[in-house]
Amino acid sequence: MERGAAAVTGRPAGRAEVGLRDRKKQETRDRLAHVATLMFIERGFEAVTIAEIAEAADVSKMTVTNYFPLKEDLVFDAFEGVVDSLARVVRERRPGEPVLHALRHAFLTSLDEPHPLNGRCTPGFARLVHDSPRLRAREREIDEQREEALAAALTEATGSSPDDPVPGLNAAQLAAVHRFLVRRVRKTIRDGLREEEVRDRAERLARTAFDALEPVLGTYCPGPAA
């Protein structure tokens, strides 16, 4: 039974208590993901069990599965931010800015550090995902969800009807660029390139990739006027 202000007074917990509880839950979630990912990198994703993760994190097996029903999401613990990453760029772009230009700017300005848009990560993480069929499959699912979220954002931004195929077709092209760039960035990391080389190659490749879409999508869906 839960103890605390609600149990003692019979009143709902105050905002401060709710905020503290949420922070503790997030701290637990972050710690589980961190411990599990280090174990996966050391031994391989398939070789590590949930029970071993629970023991290493000093929690019960049920606690791990309550926070992460999918074992794969111990690695992709920030997947909700990844799913929303392209759609968020559409929602937050500057007035009058076409979607393609906004996505190009967002990708290029993200390259100085790891970010949901760009694929930068540690060599251990890059090898971990590449070497596990289950993790690659889960990442494809997340990519599909990200594309769907982008299509929904484009549908809303253009005022299109739900059965209009154009936002979905354009979302597929734009999301494909990001999938391609992330894979190439991860490969340069696995190949052992220095961080500055990874960044420089990613920038050059991104400019080429986005420029290839310019004739088709360069003026598509400009942001609303201020």
Cβ atoms of 86 and 92 closer than 8 Å: no
- Which residues of the chain does CATH 1.10.357.10 include? 79-217
pLDDT of 55 reads 97
pLDDT of 117 reads 86
As to burial, measured by CB atoms within 10 angstroms (0-12 exposed, 13-18 middle, 19+ buried), residue 61 is middle
What is the CB neighbour count within 10 angstroms for residue 74? 23
Please state the length of the chain.
226
pLDDT of 16 reads 59
Cβ atoms of 158 and 219 closer than 8 Å: no
9-72 homologous superfamily? Homeodomain-like (1.10.10.60)
Mean pLDDT for all residues in the chain: 91
Residue 104's alpha-carbon distances to 49, 87, 156, 209, 220, in angstroms, are 40, 13, 20, 9, 13
pLDDT of 3 reads 39
pLDDT of 1 reads 35
- Which residues of the chain does CATH 1.10.10.60 include? 9-72
pLDDT of 46 reads 96
* DSSP summary character for residue 132: -
Using 70 as the pLDDT threshold, list the residues of the chain that sit under it: 1-18, 226
Q: Which CATH number fits domain 79-217: 3.30.465.10, 1.10.357.10, 1.10.3720.10, 3.20.20.70?
A: 1.10.357.10
Helix 99-109 vs helix 166-190: angle between axes, to the nearest 10 degrees? 20
DSSP labels for 42-78? HH-TTT--HHHHHHHHTS-HHHHHHH-SSGGGGTSTT
DSSP labels for 18-33? HHHHHHHHHHHHHHHH
What is the Cα–Cα distance from 112 to 184, expressed in whole angstroms?
16
pLDDT of 17 reads 59
Q: What is the pTM of this model?
A: 0.87
